[in-house]
Structure 1
């Protein structure tokens, strides 16, 4: 399927690895000019070169020269977001992402922890929408996809801090989606769970420490809780993101798409 976004411009936040990189890769394969982001300039430069070479090699000539650029900036700071906007003045596609706060309990979630979670997992995404959505509306096309977490809809006991910050982003995104839809701009969130990324390594380490098991057993236990019987692959998240960003998804907005192997037990 031709997603109809070749030649579009995208910014993908926190995309030097993990799910952000997976989304950047899927968009680049569709011929989108992608700017990746992180805080380590050397790492970004290497990832951008590798990604451009990978996409060009696999394109079979259908995508002429993958355009992959990078901007080193901490998107949790005002100066970092200003640097992003200076390097990437306008985009057609915005994918927001950032690492979530650590697991914890109510005793850990004081005012500092709460504001810190919002500063990392809600404020940057909203500020980037404020920067780029007006231009999308003027041009009559725009796609915004927020990578959040399945914890938004089904918070685990130790993930309340992550869930609360990301739920705040989900709420404001729903409101924005209703305002901008008539101008050809869609706003959706992806809610991944149990994806085989460095984040899952952290969760497996917690199981290993808690139960005195090895890595293989930890991952076996994690996979056993998922109806499909395995962890998700980053490229599955990337391809779902690319579809939401596509010209084919213009009637799909204000939605929260779960990528969890069927784990969520509810109807809505």
Structure 2
């Protein structure tokens, strides 16, 4: 299927590896020119080199997307993005009792405030041009708690509620805002949660990994590639009637008929 994205431009945050890279790769395959972002220069340069093999332009902005200077650089590299994929590292796994006010505010800044700031700076231009796709990478933990990720979950849930009305306000301008909620996708982040859980249970990592995979109806971890393909479809010309939605990619973990 042609997604109708050739020649469009996208900012993909935190895209040197993991889910962000999966989204960038899927968009590059569709002919989207990219501005990617990462903190590690070597990893980000390698990702850019791989993406350019699809015949698209790829610019790099290094730094934390929560820093205003990094946001400025992203918008300087791509002043009129057709697509924004919001992604950011979340707070480290910690017992909520260990979180002081500074840690709480940092977590909210990372996973709620930062994407809102980028949306504020790009959404009106999208509406004026009559096309825009905003995809926020949140987490299944918005629906289903994961002990130790309470701060990340709370901030992402706040983002979801904050944007629900905004998504409807721009739908008539062919601008959509949707969230993808990853379950257990094979990334560094998920391995960290498995290490944390193994330590809590006093078992070896491999045992904990097998236990968690055993609880997934699909019987496996998801892949960044299939995650990225979902992102690319939500960004496509075919997805203009999907907005304000939370798309769960979890292999059937979340038990619900609706």
TM-score scaled to structure 1, two decimals?
0.91
1:210 and 1:168 map into 2 onto residues whose CA distance is: 27
> Where does 1:128-147 land on structure 2 (aligned, <5 Å)?
128-147=118-137
Match 1:200 to one of 166, 190, 210: 190
Query: Structure 2 regions of 5+ residues with no counterpart?
Result: none
1:215 and 1:226 map into 2 onto residues whose CA distance is: 17
Is residue 122–residue 165 contact of structure 1 (8 Å, CA) maintained in 2? yes
2:45 and 2:87 map into 1 onto residues whose CA distance is: 19
Q: Deviations over 1:218-268 (max 9, x none)?
A: 321110011111111111110000000000000000000000111112344
2:204 and 2:51 map into 1 onto residues whose CA distance is: 33
> Secondary structure, in 3 states, of the residue corresponding to 1:99?
coil
> Secondary structure, in 3 states, of the residue corresponding to 1:154?
coil
Is residue 80–residue 122 contact of structure 2 (8 Å, CA) maintained in 1? yes
**2:112 is the counterpart of 1:122:** yes
**2:94 is the counterpart of 1:89:** no
Is residue 41–residue 71 contact of structure 1 (8 Å, CA) maintained in 2? no
> Secondary structure, in 3 states, of the residue corresponding to 1:36?
strand
1:6 and 1:188 map into 2 onto residues whose CA distance is: 21
* Matched residue, 2:15: 15
Which deviates more, 107-116 or 18-27? 107-116
* Matched residue, 2:99: 109
* Matched residue, 2:44: 44
**2:180 is the counterpart of 1:190:** yes
* Matched residue, 1:250: 240
**2:227 is the counterpart of 1:237:** yes
**2:159 is the counterpart of 1:165:** no
Is residue 73–residue 84 contact of structure 1 (8 Å, CA) maintained in 2? no
* Matched residue, 1:24: 24
Q: Deviations over 1:188-220 (max 9, x none)?
A: 000001100011221222244344544433321
2:65 and 2:164 map into 1 onto residues whose CA distance is: 22
Quote the offset at 1:99 in angstroms. Answer: 1.1
1:256 and 1:132 map into 2 onto residues whose CA distance is: 21
Is residue 218–residue 251 contact of structure 2 (8 Å, CA) maintained in 1? yes
Residues matched between the structures, number? 258
Query: Structure 1 regions of 5+ residues with no counterpart?
Result: 56-64
Q: Deviations over 1:117-169 (max 9, x none)?
A: 11111111011101111110000000000001001111223322111100111
1:195 and 1:247 map into 2 onto residues whose CA distance is: 26
1:163 and 1:25 map into 2 onto residues whose CA distance is: 26
1:131 and 1:103 map into 2 onto residues whose CA distance is: 31
> Secondary structure, in 3 states, of the residue corresponding to 1:146?
strand
TM-score scaled to structure 2, two decimals?
0.95
